[in-house]
Amino acid sequence: MTPFGTVELTVYPYECDAFGHLNQAALLTLLERARWDALARGPGMDLFDRNGVWPAVRKATIEYRAAAFARDVLRVETTVAGRGTTSMTLRHVVRRVSDDTTVAEAEMVFVCIDRLGRATPLPDEIARFLGPRPPTGGHQPIRVPAGEVELAVDVRGEGVPVLFVHGFPFDRTMWRHQLATLSRVRRIAPDLRGVGDSGAPPAADGYSLTRYADDLVAVLDALGVRQAVLCGLSMGGYVIFELLRRHPERVKALILADTKPEPDSAEAKRGRDELTQVAQREGQDAVLERLLPRLLAPATQATQPEVAGQVREMARRWSVPGLVGALRTLRDRPDSTETLRSVRMPTLVLVGSEDEIAPPEAARAMAQLIPDAQCHVVPAAGHLAPLEQPLATSRLLADFLRALP
């Protein structure tokens, strides 16, 4: 549900360039028209004025998907993707009405400012209009029994099943943009055991690659899914490698993001042991503070503080046994190079251009192991491309999924 109604607008000839295409500046204006039209039909165009504030654009990200021309009628859907104390994030999807082609997708972050230009909390009337803060992950998870625990799983949409597997120390909400926007696929995103809303075995031996992989199969079984596209980030990828060894018949295609097949070096294993002690002595926040500097691209850290905020929240949703169990699993994971060499299915490898943990060279080398695998580098992203550059990542995923046989 969105408080902003869907608005249809006609492209005027004067908004188009010499080739007849709707030009970039005009698209931004058109999105603005759509927002004001939606306000005019709802709470009134003076919603902000009468509350003494103004929504100033802080950031706009636009993905142009197809040309639009004079006289095209465009349908603009606007949803509230996020709400902070002083900010709101709106997501626009622009489609041509005549053939339902997606023309553009945009995400815009607005900060509410007062007459002196200072960020100010969203007034009550505006907060009420925007509706409740989207719950983390934007959806109520279902519960699926898996061995001795119950897993929380987001399930949305219809179509080819795509199982999203998060990394360490994140949770299913790291895929929130893809869960919200990828259309025509059934999006399935569990919290791994020990994480978020899933159950947490109390002892570290309740966690292993085998258990994580079998948990995913339990999720597929519970949903009646025989085969799925598996999409994993980093540790999510390591779990998928194990699933490929144990249950290859359940995998239709692979999306491997910011991950690598090699096991830990001796030095990396020592790092895992140190981090385990930090987890046991000081808890989740201390673990995250050690990891954070290497997780996000410098540009993300400088311009998207809300992404670092979300990463902190995800880490806080890990139980301490979950952290310890995962760190041991990461430390002891096997070399998956041979596993990947035997893969014969459509595969997309993607990696953030500034991923320090599984860098682009490692991604390219991994893609080389798999016949015909595609490999794409997502610009201006670190280790968390789906959160740092959601539109670019979702577009790669959508293109890959659309082309599947």
Structure tokens given for 301: 């850290």
Cα-trace Rg, the chain: 22
| CA atoms 115, 121, 123, 126: torsion sign | positive
Of 251, 243, 239, 81, the C-alpha closest to 162 is 251
- Pick between residue 91 and residue 383 the one whose CB is nearest to ligand MLT: 383
CB of 180 to ligand MLT, least distance (A): 21
CB 168, min distance to ligand MLT, A: 4
- Min dist CB 326 to ligand MLT, Å, is 8
Q: Where are the alpha helices (DSSP H) in 185-265?
A: 209-222, 235-246
Residues in the chain, total: 405
Q: Which is nearer to ligand MLT, 273 or 399 (CB)?
A: 273
In the bound complex, what is the minimum distance in angstroms from residue 89's beta carbon to ligand MLT?
24
Short-list 273, 296, 288, CA closest to 356: 296
Nearer to ligand MLT, 176 or 383 (CB): 383
Beta carbon nearer to ligand MLT, 120 or 284: 284
Distance CA 237, CA 147 (A): 21
Q: For the CB of residue 173, give the shortest distance to ligand MLT in the complex, in Å.
A: 14
Kindly tell me which of 317 and 383 has the beta carbon lying closer to ligand MLT: 383
- Least distance to ligand MLT from the beta carbon of 363, Å? 14
CA distances from 232 to 71, 243, 280, 341, 389 (A): 42, 11, 27, 18, 16
Q: Torsion angle of alpha carbons 233, 268, 311, 326, nearest 10°?
A: 70
Query: Which of 309, 400, 256 has the alpha carbon at shortest distance from 89?
Result: 309
In the complex, the residues that contact ligand MLT under the rule CB under 6 A are: 167-168, 234-235, 330, 357, 383
Looking at beta carbons only, is 168 or 318 nearer to ligand MLT? Answer: 168
- Alpha helices, DSSP H only, in 8-163? 24-41, 124-130
Considering the complex, what minimum distance in angstroms separates the CB of residue 174 from ligand MLT? 9
229 within 8 A of 244, measured Cβ to Cβ: no
Nearer to ligand MLT, 67 or 365 (CB): 365
